[in-house]
Amino acid sequence: MPSRRSHTKSRRGCFQCKKRHVKCDEELPRCSLCKKRGLECDYPPTGEADGQFPLTPQDPNDAPPSPEGWSAHTRMLEMKLLHHYVIDASFTLRPDVLEAGYFQIAVPRIATSNPFLLDIILAFSALHLAFLEQGDSKWLEIALKYQNRACSAFSRELADLSPETLGPAFICSIFIMLCAFAYPCVSQNRESFDPLSQVLEIHRLFVGCAFLFEQLDNVEQPEEIKAWLVYKQPEVFLRKGRIEDAQENKFFEQLQRDLLKSLDHLRGAINTAEGPYQEMYKNTWATLQEMVKEWPRGKQQGGILAFPIHISEEFMARLKDGDWTASIIFLHYGVGMHLLSNKWYVGIWGRRLVATVLPPDEEIPAEWEETVAWARQAVAYTVPYDGEKRKEKSEMGLR
C-alpha cells in the first residue's frame, strides 16, 4: 500500500478549515477553500495561533515565532500594505506642528514594537488602497480584518495599560478614528449612513483619544511620543504660521467666509429664540464658529473634525427629536466638514451629513428655507483629492 503523502500542518488556519480537518492556505481576506465554497472565513486571533506574532507586546525573553509559521501570501500582503503606507498613504496626513516625516519615520518605527499599532496602520493603508482602487473590493475586506484585529488587541492593551504602551496606544487611537472616518467614504454600501450613529461613534473615539493624550505627560515618554505634547502649547500655532497648501483652493476660502456669515445669522436666531435650551445652543454654536475660524488648522480645539467631541448628550437628544435649531446647527457642521472634503478619509462626509440630517422631502420652516438651500448648494461642489497634488510632487521628486 502506498504511503500517505505528508504535508506541512497549517498553523494559522481558519476555523472552517480546522473544523473540516483540511489544510488551509491562510490567504487573506478569505482562504481559497472558503472562497470556493462561498463561506465566511474567520481566523483565530493572532495571539492564539501557534507560530505567529502575538497582537500585544510580549516579554523580550520569549522565543520569536518561527518564520515557517508565516503564510507567504500574508507576508507579501503585509509588506505591500506597509510599503504603501510609507510611500503614499502616510503623506495624506499633514504633520502640522509635528516634525516633517513623523508619519513616515517615527510612526512605523514605533509600530515595529507594538503589533496593535502595526495592524491599524495596515488597515489604514488598505483603506487608502480601497479608495484609490474602488473597483477592487478586496482591500476593504482586508482593511476590516486588520482593523478588527487591531481593535481587539487595543482593547486588551487598555485593560492593562503600561507607561511603555501609553504612547503607542494614543497613536493607535488616532488611526482607529481615521479609519472610522474613512470607512463610509470607501465602502461600497453607500446608502446606509445614519448621521446620528456615525457622529456618536466618532464622539466615543475622540473621547478615548483625548483621554490617552492627557495621560502622556504624566509619565516619562521617549522623544518620538513627547513630540505630541507640542499640541499643549498654544504659542506654537502662532509661531508656525500658514500651513503649506492649506488654502490653495479658492473655493474653500470662499466657503469658509460664507459659512461664517451664515453662522452669524444663526447666532441672531438663537439669541431671539428664548427657551430652556438656549444656553446649550449658544455654547454649541460658539464651539463650531471657533473651529470654522481656525480652519485649516485645528489648534487646541482639534478643528472641525473634532466637533463631535464637543457635542453634548442634550444636544444630540434635541437633534434626534427633530428640533430645528439643533438641526440647523448640525447642518452648518456638515458644511464645515466639506471644507475638509479634499482629504480622502473625509471625502463626502459633509455632503452626506447635509443630505441625511434634512431629507429632501422634509418640510422646511420658512425662516430656514434660504439657509437649507444654501447648505445643499455649498456641498454640491466636488473638490479634487489633495493626494493628486501630492502624487504630482512625488513624481517630480519633491515628496
Q: Give the count of domains, the chain.
A: 3
User: 151: closest CA among 80, 88, 205, 221?
Assistant: 205
pLDDT band at 149 (very low <50, low <70, confident <90, very high): very high
Instruction: Identify whether 59 is part of a domain.
Output: no
Say if residue 189 is in the same domain as residue 263: no
Instruction: Identify whether 3 is part of a domain.
Output: no
* Domain end call among 242, 263, 278: 242
Q: What is the structure's pLDDT at 365? A: 92
Q: What is the structure's pLDDT at 7? A: 46
Say if residue 238 is in the same domain as residue 261: no
Say if residue 221 is in the same domain as residue 288: no
* Domain end call among 193, 210, 242: 242
Can you tell me the distance from the alpha carbon of 274 to that of 296, in angstroms, rounded to the nearest whole number? Answer: 33
> With contact defined as beta carbons under 8 Å apart, do 267 and 254 qualify?
no
Instruction: Identify whether 56 is part of a domain.
Output: no
Say if residue 235 is in the same domain as residue 270: no
Q: What is the structure's pLDDT at 238? A: 54
Instruction: Identify whether 216 is part of a domain.
Output: yes
Instruction: Identify whether 52 is part of a domain.
Output: no
Say if residue 362 is in the same domain as residue 301: yes
Tens of pLDDT, residue by residue over 237-262, are: 555 444 434 445 788 999 999 999 99
- Note the pTM of the prediction, 2 decimals: 0.74
The mean pLDDT of 25-52, rounded to a whole number, is 66
Say if residue 238 is in the same domain as residue 258: no
Least confident of 58-67, 143-152, 237-246, 362-371: 58-67
Instruction: Identify whether 396 is part of a domain.
Output: no
Contacts of 259 (CB under 8 A, 6+ apart): 292, 332, 335, 336, 339, 378
Q: Which domain holds residue 25?
A: 12-43
Q: Domain with 37 in it: what CATH number?
A: 4.10.240.10
Say if residue 275 is in the same domain as residue 179: no
Q: Cell 494614543 belongs to which residue?
A: 170
